[in-house]
Amino acid sequence: MNENDKNKSPFHFYEYILYGIATIAVFLLAIPLFILKFLSFLGDSASAPLKSAKNIVGVIILLIILVALYSFYVMFMPIDLGTETKSIMVDQADQFRMVSSKLGKAGLIGNEYIFRAIAVVKGIDKNILPGRYDFKGKISAYDILIKLKMHDIATALLTIPEGATIYKIASILSKYLGIDSSEFIARSLDTQFTLGSYNLQGLEGYLFPETYLFWIGIKTDGIINMMIEEFRRKTVGTLDSCPINNLKAKEVLVLASIIEAEALFEDEMPLISSVYHNRLRIGMILQADPTINYALGGIFRPLKYSDLKINSPYNTYLIKGLPPGPINSPGIEAIKAAQYPAKTDFLYFVADGMGRHKFSKTLEEHNRAKRLVKSTRKISAKNQGI
């Protein structure tokens, strides 16, 4: 035998291909045979489960398969809600057992026990966010489980405007979130609660005006906590900085609330602030109309002379200095204006009837400005045929 014969392979390439095809064919034929044999074994075991240990094992395997198939069906077979939307409300104190019960009663899951078991295995049962969960269209129990895991709750985007009082805020929350307005007001004025929770005498002025994403079903205390946290976040570095004109943080907030009620335009806020700062510095009464409106119960209307005599600590026509607390929730620009007033000698201002104000240094100038505004209003009303 020469060297070339020694190196020559005993098989040709096509023979490897044929060998591979044959192996695959045998394997494919063996699978159904194995399945049939296995099913036969399960059938024999089911027909005589206690005949032998082998049959007992077979029955156990059969039961595991049946439970697995049923669980798969229960978890992945969708139900079609069509155009209907079904909802459940998950409360803060709800355990997962209660959540699955609510889903079962709503007809959203077929088997609460399997649903709970899968949730426990995946660790979803310990991390459910309270709120309202909405379901529509085609949805399976597994889809619901994922929705719970992802905290896919119904929410509402709600704006609390600058200058809103706790009464106005309560009204907004009642209208859009279904919050009990009386409960919200009582909670905001409950000094035992506000002192214990936030070290505040009351919450007027501290419920920061902002656009919030509230989850549907949120409770009063949850809303209050969100708004107080937003106030602290937005005013850090502002209210806690050095006092201006000897005003403490709370006094700055009180003044800011008055400025917020007076000004329609942010560029006027520092000017209005300067008037009140100048009056405070020389011991002059503030005569701020919005404080009278607040003393009257939040009734914002043109004031009558008799209103100025109301007996209230918020009546800045009778009592010198700032009122005892904020009269609304001021925005950050009003707070900045209260802390950093414009440098002026103004002591008076009057609304010009178009949202702005005329500022004066003396009472004589102020009276002249008032006459001019009154005359302008009469001419405007005449031209409009009023």
Looking up residue 88, the CATH number of its domain turns out to be 3.30.1490.480
CATH number where 173 lies: 3.30.1490
pLDDT score of 55 more than 70: no
Contacts of 54-57 with C-beta under 8 Å, sequence gap 24+, read none
Q: Choose the weakest-confidence range: 60-69, 146-155, 281-290.
A: 60-69
Q: Are 373 and 274 in the same domain?
A: yes
pLDDT of residue 186: 97
Backbone angles phi, psi at 158, to 5 degrees: -130, 130
Confidence of residue 311 (pLDDT cuts 50, 70, 90): very high
Tell me which range, 88-102, 258-272, 288-302, is most confidently predicted by mean pLDDT.
258-272
Q: Tell me, yes or no, whether 285 lies in a domain.
A: yes
Residue 5 binned pLDDT confidence (cut-offs 50, 70, 90): low
Does residue 357 belong to any structural domain of this protein?
Answer: yes
Claim to verify: residue 87 and residue 65 sit in the same structural domain:
no
Residue 89's DSSP bridge partners are 132
What pLDDT, on a 0 to 100 scale, did the predictor assign at position 163? 96
User: Do residue 47 and residue 145 come from a single domain?
Assistant: no
315 and 358 both lie in a single domain:
yes
Q: Which of 206, 235, 264 finishes a domain? A: 235
Same structural domain, 263 and 367: yes
Q: Is residue 242 part of a domain?
A: no
Indicate if the pLDDT at residue 284 is higher than 90: yes
Q: Are residues 333 and 257 in the same domain?
A: yes
Q: Is residue 8 part of a domain?
A: no
Closest C-alpha among 337, 352, 262, 336 to residue 360 = 352
- Using an 8 Å Cβ cutoff, are 375 and 352 in contact? no
Domain that holds residue 48: 21-73
Number of domains the chain contains: 4
What residues form DSSP beta bridges with 215? 155
- Please state, for a pLDDT cut of 70, what percent of the chain lies above it: 81
Q: Are residues 109 and 187 in the same domain?
A: no
Is there a domain that residue 321 lies in? yes
- Same domain for 286 and 258: yes
Domain assignment present for residue 343? The answer is: yes
Residue 331: which of 238, 246, 208, 215 has the closest Cα? 208
Q: What single-letter DSSP state applies at residue 329? A: B
Same domain, 338 and 368: yes
Q: What angle do CA 364, 368, 369 make, to 5 degrees?
A: 115
Q: What is the pLDDT of residue 75?
A: 87
Domain boundary among 114, 149, 184: 149
- CA separation for the pair 311, 364 (Å, rounded): 29
Confidence at residue 289, expressed as pLDDT on a 0 to 100 scale:
94
Tokens of 171: 């009204």
pLDDT for 300 equals 78
Residue 71 clears pLDDT 90, i.e. is over it: no
Q: Kindly report the CA angle at 228 between 223 and 229, in degrees rounded to 5?
A: 100
Mean pLDDT within 245-271: 93
Q: Average pLDDT, stretch 152-167?
A: 95
